Homo-oligomer: A and B are copies of this chain.
């Protein structure tokens, strides 16, 4: 599954890694870095990713392939690697270098699969803290995350109040609400109901590709917005009706688009890792850190925060993000809230660079 990732660095740990709901023996934490830490060690930025990206947020000399946020991170870009030392981690539980369900359990010599403990985003944040220790970064300039990464960034700020001066939360939230929980729960069920999932014991060269394709299609539908698709596809008919017979093959261009996206996704992400990370998003709740969201947020010790949300986001609706900004304002002196009118829904931070680049650049 792993492609060659020459820029990827790995922190191999020793001993027990205590998680919120379990423990791992000697996990590995993978990350990439860009730029240089200055003498005062006060120019470090930490980026947490969404569910599926790797740590390769941008190209580098070591790995010139485009990163998943290539237009945002690099020399003279909004997250300026000439100025900042940027660290992006591969989440614990993922399959791009960090230990996850597709890794070998050193205690048994077999793959973890479903023996992997219940994963929480706090565990992902804790792994990143070990990377910062290793890099001798005491305190971050800013911790940044979008989508699941925004929740992880918040978890980091709650668990390690002394370790981040600022937070940038993009299209994220203080907790998952039932609409997004329901969608993710259904995505997981689509994977689990694929007979090829085999209760997690599938052959890694195959696995539940049908379930993963369906889950990806549902993801794509909810990551974008109805308005964008109406503009982009309207009722355009598909040029290639696909292999299947009418009346249930592909009629419309939007169906071709989903088909192509689903096919590209399959084989790039381990199904069990997807299940664990997806559920970790459902479980995350700032209220677990103090009894209520507000009491949880009172634990942060940030100097500044920026919350960016998008009006067409179905999964992390703008109201929830405004609520996060208001919640932070009670405990952080300098909080900005940016409400963007992007029409690309939850995925806007990846594609609507005209709005997102200035919003991020002005913060730095």
Which residues of A does B touch, CB under 8 Å?
Answer: 114, 118-119, 175-183, 185-186, 188-190, 192-193, 195, 210, 214, 217-218, 221, 225-226, 229-230, 232-235, 246-248, 250-255, 258, 275-276, 279, 282-283, 285, 287, 314, 317
Contact = CB atoms under 8 A, between A and B. Distances in A.
Contacts of A276: 247
A210 B191 CA distance: 12
Nearest to A177: B230
Contacts of A189: 214, 217
B317 A226 contact: yes
A178 B235 contact: yes
Q: Tell me the number of copies of this protein.
A: 2
B229 A177 contact: yes
A214 B314 CA distance: 20
Contacts of A258: 182, 185-186
A182 B254 contact: yes
Given A114-B247, A235-B287, 17 more contacts: A118-B246, A119-B247, A175-B235, A178-B226, A178-B235, A179-B221, A180-B226, A182-B229, A182-B255, A186-B214, A188-B248, A190-B190, A195-B195, A226-B314, A235-B285, A247-B276, A251-B282
Contact of A230 (B179, B234, B253): B179
B235 A210 contact: no
12 contacts: A118-B247, A177-B226, A177-B230, A177-B235, A178-B229, A185-B255, A186-B218, A189-B217, A193-B214, A218-B218, A226-B317, A247-B279
Given A217-B189, A226-B317, A258-B185, A282 B177 contact: no
A287 B235 CA distance: 11
Nearest to A199: B245
Nearest to A258: B182
A230 B118 CA distance: 25
A209 B247 CA distance: 21
Contacts of A221: 179, 182-183, 186
Contacts of A214: 186, 189-190, 193
A119 B247 CA distance: 9
Contacts of A190: 190, 214
A138 to B, nearest CB: 34
Given A235-B175, A235-B285, A254 B192 contact: no
Interface centre among A175, A183, A217, A235 (most CB of B within 10 A): A235
A316 B235 CA distance: 15
B179 A248 contact: no
Contacts of A230: 177-179
A192 B248 contact: yes
Interface centre among A179, A188, A221, A253 (most CB of B within 10 A): A179
A275 B258 CA distance: 19
A210 B193 CA distance: 8
Given A192-B248, A218-B186, A254 B181 contact: yes
A265 B180 CA distance: 22
Nearest to A288: B235
Contacts of A226: 177-180, 314, 317
Interface centre among A177, A182, A221, A250 (most CB of B within 10 A): A182
Nearest to A225: B179
A214 B221 CA distance: 16
Contacts of A279: 247-248, 251
